[in-house]
Structure 1
C-alpha cells in the first residue's frame, strides 16, 4: 500500500536509510512525505495530473501576493538554469539589451547565457564580497539608454549574499526599465511580494526553499509580458509563451513532464503552508544560520561576508590557514559524520559553503558544528582561523 501524503508539519527526523544531510543550496534534504509522494505513477495527459499542475500553479502564485490576477505561473522542465535561459530568451526582445548585475557565479552565468543567445548585454560585476546597489544601477541606466531590462540574482549562492532587490527595483523602474529576478535560492523563504517589490518576471526551482526534488523550474510573470513573449524564444523547448499557451488551453505540459517531481512538489508546498508560508520557512532558515555561524566562529572560522549581507540560505567560510587543513579531507570527514557540505566558488580565496536550507532545524545545525570540530581535531588542526590576507581583502573590498 502506498503512503498517503499529508499536510501536517513533520518533525525533523534524520534522513532515511542513513542518508547524509545535504548542506547545499539544492538539491537538499527533503521530508519523508515528499519522498513518499513519488511512489505513485501518474499519466501525464490524465485529468488527475492536469489538476495537479493547475494546483501547483495556483499555490505558487499565492506566494507572490498577487491579488489582481496580473501574474501567471508557468512551470518548465529542467534545472534552474533552464528556467533562467528560458526567461532571458522569452522576455527580452531580440533587439533589447540587458544589464546583468553580478556578484558571483550565477550572475556571471546569466551574462554567459546572454552571450549564447547572441543578445546585447552589459555587466556590473561586484566581485565576491558586495551586492550591487540601487545608485550604481541608476547610473548605469542613465549612461546607456539602450538598456531595456535588468537581471539580478536574489540570493547569490556562490557567496551567500542576499542582494537588495527592493532597492534595485526602485532604481530600475524610476528609469523606466524592466526588472527580471533570478530568485532560484530565495523564493519561498525570502519575501518577494509583488505589492512590495516591482518586477516583470521571476524564476525559481522545485528543489530549493520549497524543499521539493529536482526536475523543474517555474516562471512567474506578468500576463502582459507572457503575451508579448510570443515568437521571441530562441528555443522550442524553452519557449515560455508556448508552454503558457499550451497550459492555458489544455492544462498539459507541452512535452513529457516530471510527473513524480510534481507530486513531490505539491506535498512540499503543503508542508510549506503548514509551517507558516514564506515567513515561517524563512524564520527557520534564519535560526539555522544563526546557530551554525555562531558555532563555526567559536571554532575560529570566519565568514566571507560581513554580517549585513549574510543570507539565511547558505554561508561561505574561508578555509583555515592551518598547514594541516585540506578541504577534500575535511569534506570526507564531514560526510562520514553525516553531513555533505559544498565547495566554494570564489575566484580570490579558498572557501567552502554550508547550506541552511532543507528539512532540518537548529538542532541539526548544532550537530554540524560538533562534526566540524571533530573533523578539525582528526586533521590535527587546532584553529580554523583564515589567512590574514583573506581578512585584509574582505576589509578592503567592504570599505
Structure 2
C-alpha cells in the first residue's frame, strides 16, 4: 500500500501532464464530437428550417409612411436583423467581412415616389437599393423578399377602398398576412419507413464515434503518467533503497501498475460519462444503445487504456528520459490516430496507410467498437461479438507484448554497473 500511495503522490505532483494531455486535448476531441452530433441531430427534424440571413436595413427617408419600419418587420420573419452605421466605411466592412448577408437601403424620397407609382401617377417603379454579400446564398433569397414586400404592398394598396388607401395600412395588412403564414405554414419533411432505424443509427454512431476519439488523448496521457511512476521508482538512489528492503521487486512493480490501472479505469469511466452527457446536451437519442454494446465498447476502451499503460511501463523500464518519452508519445499517438480509421474514413485511406494501421493497436480498437455496434468497417457484417472479441484480444496482445518487453529490458537495464554507488573516497599517491 505504501508503494501505491507513493505512486499516487508522483501522479499528483506531475498533474500538469494530466491537465494538458487529458483535459485539454480531451476537450478538443469532445468539441469535434459535439459539432458532429449537433450537425447530425437536425437530420430528424419534422420541418425544414432554412438558414436565416443576417440583414441590415438603412433608412435614409426618415421612416416616411413607416416604410423602413415595416420592411424591417417583414424581413425579420425569416432573417436576423442587425444594425450597422450608415457610412461608406461601415457598409463596405460589413459586406467585405461577410458580417451581413444583405443590406437594404431605403433611399431619400422613396415613400413619396412609391406612393405616386401605386396611384398610377408614374410608370417608373422606385426601388430599394440592395447589396448582397459575395459569399451568401441566403442574402440572395432575402433580396427577393424585399421585392416581394413591395409587390405585395402594391397589391394590398390597390385592394383597399378608394377612401381608405394609405401606404401604412397596406403594409400593415401585408405584415398581418405574413405573420399568419409563418405560424401556420411549414415545409414538411416526409418520414420514411426507416425513420426509427435511422434514429437508432444516429445514437449509436454518435456514441461509437465519440468513444473512438479517446484513442488519441489516452495514448498521450497514460504512457507518460506510467513512465513518470516507473522511472521515479527506477531511479538509482531509490532503487538501491528498495533493494535493501524486504519487499520483492515483483510486488513493487505490481503495485505501481495497479495504481496506474486504477487511474486508467477512472479515466475510462469519466470518458463514457462525458459521452452520454454530450449526447444528452446535443439532443441525440439513446435509441440503439443497450447495456451489451455500451459494455463492450467500455471493455474495448479499457483494454486500450491498459495497452497504453503497458507502453508507459516499457518506456519507464528501459531508461528513457522525460523529453524522449514526450516526443515518442506524441509521435506514436498521432501515427495511431491517423492510421486507425478514426480521423479519416477507411474507404478514403490509401492501402499503405491501412497496412500501417493494422500493425498498430488503434486500428483494432476502432474495429472492435465497429463490430460492437455494427457500424463503419463492420457495416456489411453487422454486430459480431466473435470479431469484437478477436479485435479486443489483439489490443490485449499489444499490452502483453509491451509488458514482456518492459520486464526483459528492465532486467537488462538494472543489471548495468551504473547501479553501483559512486565512489566516496579516492586513493592519494
TM-score > 0.5, shorter chain as reference: no
**More helix by proportion, 1 or 2?**
2
Structure with a larger share of its residues in strand? 1
Q: Scaled by the length of structure 1, what TM-score is found?
A: 0.21
Q: Which has the larger radius of gyration?
A: 2
Give the structure-2-normalised TM-score.
0.20
